Amino acid sequence: MTNGPTRLADLTATRLTAGYAAGEFSPVEVTRAVLARAEAAQAAVNAFTRIDAEQALARAAESAERWRRGAPAGPVDGVPVTVKDVLLMRGAPTLRGSRTVRAEGATWDEDAPAVARLRESGAVFVGKTTTPEFGWKGVTDSPRHGVTGNPYDPGRTAGGSSGGGAAAVALGAGPLSLGTDGGGSVRIPASFCGIFALKATYGRVPAYPASPFGTLAHVGPMTRDAADAALMMDVICGPDWRDWSQLAPPTGSFREALAGKVAGLRVAYSPSLGWDVPVAPEVASAVRRAVDALAGLGADVEEVDPGVADPVAAFHTLWFSGAARLVQPLGPADRELLDPGLREICEQGARYGALDYLAAVDVRMALGRAMGRFHSVYDLLVTPTEPITAFAAGVEVPPGSGHARWTGWTPFTYPFNLTQQPAATVPCGVDGDGLPIGVQLVGARHADALVLRAAHALYEAGAAGIPAPAVP
């Protein structure tokens, strides 16, 4: 073996599969190294709801035998993966951060579509990662599993709702993590934790069961870099009959599409979407440098806003209504077990009527048309992922911010759940406290490959990625 255990846990999925093919190291060695990191990450930041070493090592041994025969099961054979604990995974309870979910009495014998595709491809499942209760907010703490801290400062939030997955990737507890994003839930924690994440076009990655938040909720990869996300997308976009709203299978490989250039791309740089958002100066400067890097690669960059109004009221109507429907079957005793913030938005959501909901749908459709028109001129929209860096862990909003709900401090993410567009976050720097900063790349619907290509170009040019956090 040419690499020590610590080094193996730091390798990308792309590098791991190349090493397996060359016989440099085995999936078993890699899995042991990753499991050690997972235990350390759990002790440091509480990233996991479950670590299953026995199952992971068994799958790794099976993978090692396939690689020995030169017959890997798929592109991620032997690669350690973590799964957000709102997605079904065979053999493990899906508790969703809630004390209202009973692990006993269920067989837990079904995989979500993306999990099934990863299993077929030979992925090694390390465990399940933390989420706020039912994934309802942009930070990760729950009544059932407590608070998840940030790998760069455990006293800060990892973001959410896929916070455990972001922390796991950042700390070397598996290079790939499967998350969900209903208002920013892979992009927020990826930005706060210094990793890459893609919210794919709605329907590109099949989902089952359907989210209570409807077509706001997307499934997407959280990874070390854009190349690993493309690798993961080539696996998880496989069709699944259980999702009636899935898109047709991709016509080409996302990995192969990375080879394209960004020269000539029409890029709109919007520092704040044209809204009155106070973006932290260090965030603004880091995002500007990323934009300059795209220009240096030949992109045609123009500073311009999309010309749309903040759709937060419509988003709240749809999001809070979905939450109310989610808890509708619960009796009074179970409702008392809920996160108090979730209980509040459920009560608000229950007060909306059908006409309120349809009015929000009208806003959503108008926003979608406006962004469609915008992307007929511009290939990419670039914004900060977040106007701030990670704040104190265990609270929904930054102390003293005056925000009522989590949407107040993440205005650049939820609009693109309403429009169903692909949007990625790329680490582009750190602030004075060493906390990560992300830049968001948004494409037209179905332009997932283009978003990945532009993000990959930033990595290739050395304009993306930041030093990893210290190993716990």
| pLDDT single digits (tens) 43-87 | 999 999 999 999 999 999 999 999 999 999 999 999 999 999 999
Query: How do the domains of the chain map onto residue ranges?
Result: 5-460
Does pTM top 0.85 for this prediction? yes
- pLDDT value for 171: 98
Cα-based torsion angle of the residue sequence 90, 103, 188, 10 in order, rounded to the nearest 10 degrees: -50
**The CATH number of domain 5-460, selected from 3.40.50.10860, 3.90.1300.10, 3.10.20.340, 1.10.8.10:** 3.90.1300.10
d(CA 232, CA 71): 19
The phi, psi pair for 28, rounded to 5°, reads -70, -45
pLDDT for 106: 87
d(CA 299, CA 296): 7
What is the pLDDT at residue 424? 99
Q: What is the mean pLDDT of the chain?
A: 97
Using pLDDT thresholds of 50, 70 and 90, give the confidence band for residue 105.
Answer: confident
Q: State residue 1's pLDDT score.
A: 37
Cβ atoms within 10 Å of 312's Cβ, excluding its own: 18
Amino acid at 336: E
Task: Evaluate if residue 472 carries a pLDDT over 90.
Answer: no
What percentage of the chain has pLDDT greater than the value 70? 99
For residue 381 the two structure tokens come to 């929209």
Confidence tier at 413 by pLDDT (50, 70, 90): very high
Give the containing element (helix H, strand E) for 326. Answer: helix 312-327
Residue 275: pLDDT band by 50, 70, 90 thresholds? very high
Q: Is 232 exposed, middle or buried (0-12, 13-18, 19+ CB in 10 A)?
A: buried
pLDDT band at 6 (very low <50, low <70, confident <90, very high): low
Average pLDDT on 155-171 reads 98
pLDDT > 70? residue 223: yes
Q: Which positions are catalytic?
A: 84, 161, 185
62-71 residue pLDDT tens: 999 999 999 9
For range 459-465, the mean pLDDT: 97
Query: Could you give the C-alpha distances from 417 to 201, 249, 252, 423, 451, in angstroms and in order?
Result: 9, 21, 24, 9, 16
User: Which band of pLDDT confidence, cut at 50, 70 and 90, is reported for residue 2?
Assistant: very low
Q: What is the mean pLDDT of residues 417-433?
A: 98
4 has a pLDDT exceeding 60: no
pLDDT in tens, 362-409: 999 999 999 999 999 999 999 999 999 999 999 999 999 999 999 999
